[in-house]
Every structure is written in structure tokens, then in C-alpha cells.
Amino acid sequence: MIHLGKGERSFSCWRSNAAGLRTMRPGSRRPAAAPARSSFPPSRSPSFNDEQLHFAEPDPQATITRYQALGLDRIIVKNGGKGIVMSDHCAIRRIETVPVAAVVDSTSAGDSRNGAFLARFTALGSSVEAAHHAAHVASIVTGRQGALIEPTALSVLPGFNPPA
């Protein structure tokens, strides 16, 4: 079931059957194993509200600690309007959100943030710069209706080159 309220969409059925929950040990709230590795450095970008719901963690730092115990080097915990708390090889950083005049629709905020982070990190190699860029992109996206926005909406981003 999909609900939209104050710009926030929630997917009640999806959350209770999320793919990530399938990695849990039966009857446990702990992962059965570390997430699969790829050519990208070992990393994870969870949303704190999901982690708090399923693991009863008090704050994003507890989420980071749990993923570090699994051997991950880079953890970026998304915390909605409260920004990002990240660990990059154990260095903890807090990245503030970029103010939004009005949250219209948060449908693709997380995906946009993740994509923006990966694109900027791949280009520059700086996780801190990538997190700032990702926060900026998410703020633009949440101020628009729907999951797809016009490319010109991103023209305020430093170094943005719209497609010809």
C-alpha cells in the first residue's frame, strides 16, 4: 500500500517484506552475513528510520558501529531532514541537509542521494565532497513532484553540465 502525506511516500507492504530483511538470520535482527562485495569499496548507505525500526538502534552512530563490525569501510547513514552521518575508514562526519523551501515529494530522494554520491565519489574520490553533493541533489529532488525531474532543475549544482 502506498501513502502520501506531507511530501513523504510510504510503502507499508514493501517495508515489511524488504529484500534486505531476507539477509537476516531466522528469528534474529542481525544480518546472516556481510552484504555482497563488488568492485566498489565495501560500503553501505542505509536509511536510519529503517535501521531504527528493524534493529532498535538509538542513533545513526549505532547503525555505523553495527556495519563496521561486519567489516565495511564506508557507511553513509541517511537521516532524512537531519542530514547524513557517515563513516569513512572510521572517521565520523556529519553532513547537514540543504534547506528546502517545501518538501513536495520524497519519492526518489534516497535513490537520487545514492546516485549522486556514487557519481561524485567515482569522479573525485572524496566521500565528504560526494556526501555534500548528494545532500544538495536530494534537496532539489524533494522540492519537486514525482521521481523524475527535469535536468535543468539541477543547473544550480556546481559543475553541472546539462545534456545537449
Cell triple for residue 103? 518538501
Quote the pLDDT of residue 3.
56
Confidence band, pLDDT 50/70/90 cuts, at residue 133: very high
State the Cα–Cα distance between residues 115 and 109, nearest whole angstrom.
10
Distance CA 35, CA 41 (A): 12
pLDDT digits (tens, 9 = 90+) for 79-93: 888 889 999 888 999
Q: For 36-147, which CATH class?
A: alpha beta
The identity of residue 86, as a single letter, is M
Cβ(135)–Cβ(95) below 8 Å = yes
Q: What is the pLDDT of residue 162?
A: 61
Cell numbers found for residue 43: 560500503
